Structure 1
Amino acid sequence: MNVADESEAVADGSPMAVLAFDHRERAFASVRPTGMTREEIGRSKELIFEAFETAVKAGLAGTRPGILIDEEFGAPIARRAAALGIPVSMPVERAFESVFTFEYGGDFRRHLLEFRPACAKALVHYRTTDSPETKQTQLTRLRELSEFLAEQSIDFMLELIVGQSDGGAGEIPSVDVEELCGSMAELQNAGVRVDLWKVEGISSHDEAARVAAQAVVANPRATCVVLGAGAPNDVVGHWLDVAAATPGFGGFAIGRSIWGEPVASWLDGRLAREQAIEQIASTYRSCTLRYMGARVG
């Protein structure tokens, strides 16, 4: 697969299977109670990429495997993956900001053009109940980003976080679908054009269908991908089943739920490096196989 072809990635009918490890220092280190040094984070990301390559070699059931990696810790990985023809997505947001802020400020364009990823991702906390000032700031910045990406034929992945229910006893957590669709509509009405909506897990098919229908209101080629939120395997599995069985969903972009525990165990000396690689590769492959097994159409 040639990275140059990935500008048409959304139009391709094959589901995306994105291994996400673009987490910056605080979020990445959160998978280990004792935390991590910057050097340990860098080594861990190399290990995750090796696991990705291992899984791809083993076969991923007709999906389009790709990675979501940051520039700060993963620039060499991004370049290596692109050279291998692997679709690379990269984040543009500054981590842990309540209001969307560009990681590199006004220099975000230069950084994107340096790497020319197949897809640029922005993680945004947005609710219809936010203050008008906060909304305007976020909408202005996101519209600026979406216009630039469209000019450059780089797909725009928006990870829209509105919040989930915890789920009662025996219930699967689910995103607040009413709030999600309302927030999506406000973004669309403000001229923010999104190609890939990266959304929190949804527990029912009817609600997933509502989200998928909202996704294409302003962009007929838009699709949705489900994220993992670091959730347990059984919860992630249910979200994958729902997404796969819903037209308008086009895969997943999952990270800590796949690699969190093996990375922590490796750093703590409880797993050998090759064992950690195999565990990550196996879980990633399991996600793709489960998605394809539940897929409709």
Structure 2
Amino acid sequence: MAVASPRLDLITVGRSCVDLYGQQIGGRLEDMTSFAKYIGGSPTNTAVGGSRLGLNTGLLTRVGADHFGRFIREQLAREGVAVDGVIEDKTRLTALVFLGIRDPDTFPLIFYRENCADMALDGDDVDAAFIQSAGAVLINGTHLSQPAVFDASIRACELVKAAGGRVVFDIDYRPVLWGLTGKDMGENRFVADAAVTARLQQVLPLCDLIVGTEEEIHILGGSTDTLTALRAIRERSPALLVCKRGPDGCSAFPAAIPASLDDGVVGRGFRVEVYNVLGAGDAFMAGFLRGWLRDAPLETCCEYGNACGAIVVSRHGCAPAMPTWEELQLFLNGADRPFRLREDAELEHIHWVTTRAAVPDELTVLAMDHRSQFEDLCRKVGADPARIPAFKALALKAVDRLAQGDPRFGVLLDGRFGIRGLEAAADHPYWIGRPIELPGSRPLEFESSADVATELATWPHNHVVKCLAFYHPDDTAEMRERQERQLLRLQDACRKTGHELLVEIIASGIGTVDSHTIARAIQRLYDLGMKPDWWKLEPTDDRAAWVHVETTIRANDPHCRGVLLLGLSAPQDALIASFEAAAAAPIIKGFAVGRTIFAEAAEQWLTGRMDDEAAIADLSGRFAVLVDAWRAARQRLVRPAAALQEAV
């Protein structure tokens, strides 16, 4: 009878923490004032890196029953890492690490790991069925430093071996976590200690693959001469030994240790600027395992590992810097890359678009980010503008009444009048958009700090930045350049703060609009380097216009999320009629419509003729009509691209 393939390629065991990375580069940790929050811990980083490269990975660890523990679990799930073995510890907190980047050789670290959750892992936490669902288990040197976690690691190894799987040992030596240095010396990578060597060597008979830097090989082998240490390890284990050598690549030894490191199997190295060495080893491991677990030639395994390490050493952070499979293939395609790799626009774009959180293929959004329109309405009906926030807070309730937790729905709200709705949306799974532009501005201005990146740094990570530009490809050169400069500034800010960007283009009323106008506008922005995650465009019943838009987007950015239709206050029947043409274009994912839905309810509510419940019901009902109409149109009219071209 055939043996079923393992559900997972790899389960990593051990550290899982929150990395708090200093955002100021080139100074002491004492002088850093803001920190970026990432998931961290060597086994966690490797699980994420392996998943991004196409491996099916899982993690065995403990996290606290706290905000950071939930963050780790949620982020792992977003990364596609199985969380069956992520155990919630009710009595201990999630571990923390503060990290800084001072210079190419100095990376200060402070570990907050006293009685932390992941170091409480014990043998009883190791579920046999989970471990034996994997083809390999990775254990980690740090988790051999305490008896209970040592036992958990050994049990995981024995279980996977009993099921015919393999054991990977990441030496991962941190002297501070063995109590061998002061707590302020977390970056120290080597202190010789015979007791540590003896403890680490206990796992060697179980190992099929052992990976470490030269310093880590020294502690495992008990000698500061690398070849001597390797030979000592070989005496105790037949495992494949891999010595990481930084910019010189790596050397792998499947059998006897030769006279020189260069006589091993040597994968080509990649010379790039060292920006942040932290996390590079975990990336190497993920890349090497992508090859080794899929039975690639050893030279290929080494190349994958070296390439992944080179990519991550050029970036801020560990887990978020891990490359995806598509990104790795691009890096290895032979094209010339800048020494400062993070300045490679093509590579950075592919990294961004292949690591974004997944979104549904359909999106229907209630847009109530209008500001000047609400102020105008208040003047018209004599209502107090102070009441606007209370009405906008009903938007989320209306969406939730219809959506009932369906992530294909969303809200578009502003931070001036809609902040209560934005705050409440944090507890829901809906898409959240938020405007950045000064209403009605042409040329484009931002409704925020003069430094738009400073403003975005205050926004939650899941808020999509929406920017409306009244933009026409036939604008004067001066007008185009002023607006384009602002859009490019905004895109740069979004990439630096990690926010998705939606660019809304309105060209009607500015100049002549034909079936090519919007496609021309989009092409010009692409030519300048704009690659927003989303476009929001005016409705039209001109199918040729949508063909041109889709062709332009696909040619310039195949990873674009897609297009959302705006409403332009069109009557409901006219908007629904425009769905017939738009729904036939796969690039259009849905709509983000406002005044068509809320105009009547807003006037009645602001004048006291409608209460909250009636307003919610009215908004939800009108929204439902458009959602149903969009879905019906999509169902009727989606056709292959070739059929669309024939219809033009």
Q: What is the aligned counterpart of 2:381 among 34, 40, 43?
A: 34
Alpha carbons of structure 1 residues 107 and 146: separation in structure 2 relative to 1, 3 Å = same
Output the amino acid matched with 2:434.
Answer: M
Bigger shift: 113-122 or 33-42? Answer: 33-42
Aligned counterpart in structure 2 of residue 107 of structure 1, from 427, 436, 451? 451
Q: What's 2:206 paired with?
A: none
Range 270-279 or range 222-231, more displaced: 270-279
Report the 3-state secondary structure (helix = DSSP H, G, I; strand = E; otherwise coil) of the residue aligned with 1:214. Answer: helix
From 421, 442, 448, the equivalent of 1:77 is: 421
| SS of 2:585 mapped into structure 1 | coil
Q: Which residue of 2 aligns with 1:170?
A: none
Aligned counterpart in structure 2 of residue 161 of structure 1, from 503, 506, 510: 506
Distance 1:36 1:236, change over 3 A: farther
Q: State the Cα deviation string for residues 209-247 of structure 1 (Å, max 9, x = none).
A: 222222233211221110011110011111223222221
1:72 positional shift: 0.9
Give 1:20 deviation, angstroms: 0.7
1:230-283 residue CA offsets vs partner (Å, 9 max, x unmatched): 110011111223222221111111011111111112222333332221111011
The answer on 1:250 being equivalent to 2:596 is no
Unpaired segments ≥5 residues, structure 1: 166-173
Listed one character per residue, the Cα deviations across residues 90-121 of structure 1 (whole Å, up to 9, x for unaligned) are 11111121111111143322332222244111
Note the 1:177-196 alignment, pairs <5 A: 177-196=515-534
1:23 matched to which residue of 2? 370
In structure 2, how many angstroms separate the alpha carbons of the residues matched to 1:187 and 1:180? 11
Q: Does the CA contact (< 8 Å) of 1:139 and 1:192 recur in 2?
A: no
Tell whether the 8 Å contact from 2:449 to 2:455 is kept in structure 1 after alignment. no
Q: What is the match of residue 282 of structure 1?
A: 621
Q: Which has the higher contact order (CA 8 A, sep 6+)?
A: 1
Give CA deviations for 1:136-155 in whole Å, capped at 9, x if unaligned.
11111111211222344422
Asked if the contact 1:215/1:224 (under 8 Å) is kept, the reply is no
Does the CA contact (< 8 Å) of 1:155 and 1:195 recur in 2? yes
Summarize the Cα distance change of 1:69–1:104 in structure 2 as closer, same or farther, 3 Å threshold. Answer: same
1:111-150 alignment, distance < 5 Å: 111-115=455-459, 116-150=461-495
2:500 and 2:458 mapped to 1: Cα distance? 16
Q: Which amino acid aligns with 1:123?
A: L
Contact 1:202–1:242 (Cα < 8 Å) also in 2: yes
Query: How far has the Cα of 1:175 moved from its partner?
Result: 5.8
Determine the C-alpha separation between the residues in 1 that align with 2:481 and 2:454: 24
Q: 2:438 & 2:414 partners in 1: Cα distance?
A: 11
Gap change, CA 1:13 and 1:209, over 3 Å in 2: farther
Q: Give the Cα separation in 1 of the matches to 2:384 and 2:550.
A: 40
Query: Relative to total residues, which structure has the larger helix share, 1 or 2?
Result: 1
The structure 2 residue matched to 1:259, chosen from 588, 598, 612, is 598
Q: Retained in 1: the 8 A contact 2:456–2:497?
A: no
Aligned: 1:211 with 2:549: yes
Counting only pairs closer than 5 Å after superposition, residues 49-64 of structure 1 correspond to structure 2 as 49-57=396-404, 64=408
Does the aligned pair in 1 maintain the 2:398–2:616 contact within 8 Å? Answer: yes
Which range moved further: 128-137 or 191-200? 128-137
- Which is higher, the Rg of structure 1 or of structure 2? 2
Asked if structure 2 preserves the Cα contact closer than 8 Å seen for 1:94 and 1:102, the reply is: yes
Q: Distance in 1 between matches of 2:383 and 2:456?
A: 28
In the alignment, the residues of structure 2 paired with residue 117 and residue 23 of structure 1 have an alpha-carbon distance, to the nearest angstrom, of: 20
**Secondary structure of the equivalent of 2:419?**
helix
Provide the secondary structure at the position in 1 that maps to 2:475.
coil
DSSP 3-state at the match of 1:150: helix
TM-score, normalised via structure 2 length: 0.41
Q: Secondary structure at the match of 2:621?
A: helix
CA-to-aligned-CA distance 1:27-83 (integer Å, 9 cap, x gap): 1244564254321211210122221221122x86xx611111111112232122023
The gaps in structure 2 that reach 5 residues or longer are: 1-70, 79-352, 640-648
In 1, distance between residues paired with 2:502 and 2:489? 14
Structure 1: how far apart are the matches of 2:611 and 2:448?
Answer: 37
Q: Do the aligned partners of residues 65 and 244 (structure 1) sit closer, same or farther apart at CA in structure 2, a change above 3 Å counting?
A: same
* CA contact 2:543–2:581 (8 Å) conserved in 1: yes
| Aligned-pair CA distance for 1:21 | 0.7
Contact 1:164 1:176 in 2 (8 A): no
Aligned partner letter, 1:230: S
Name the counterpart of 2:575.
236
Whether the 8 Å contact between 1:240 and 1:287 is mirrored in structure 2 is no
> Which amino acid in 2 is paired with 1:147?
D
Aligned to 2:608: 269
Q: Is the 8 A contact 2:519 2:545 kept in 1?
A: no
SS in structure 1 of the partner of residue 502 of structure 2:
strand
Give the superposition deviation at 1:156: 1.2
SS at match of 2:450: helix
Distance change (3 Å), C-alpha of 1:184 and 1:272? same
SS state at 2:505 partner: strand
**Partner of 1:235: helix, strand, or coil?**
helix
Distance across 1 between alignment mates of 2:539 and 2:532: 19
Q: Distance in 2 between matches of 1:78 and 1:161?
A: 25
1:91 aligns with 2:435: yes
Distance 2:376 2:580 in 1: 27
Rounded to whole Å, the distance in 2 between the matches of 1:253 and 1:112 is 22
Q: Which residue of 1 aligns with 2:539?
A: 201
Distance 2:615 2:587 in 1: 34
RMSD of aligned residue pairs (Cα, Å)? 2.6
Contact 1:175 1:202 in 2 (8 A): no
Confirm or deny: 8 A CA contact 1:228 1:255 kept in the other structure. yes
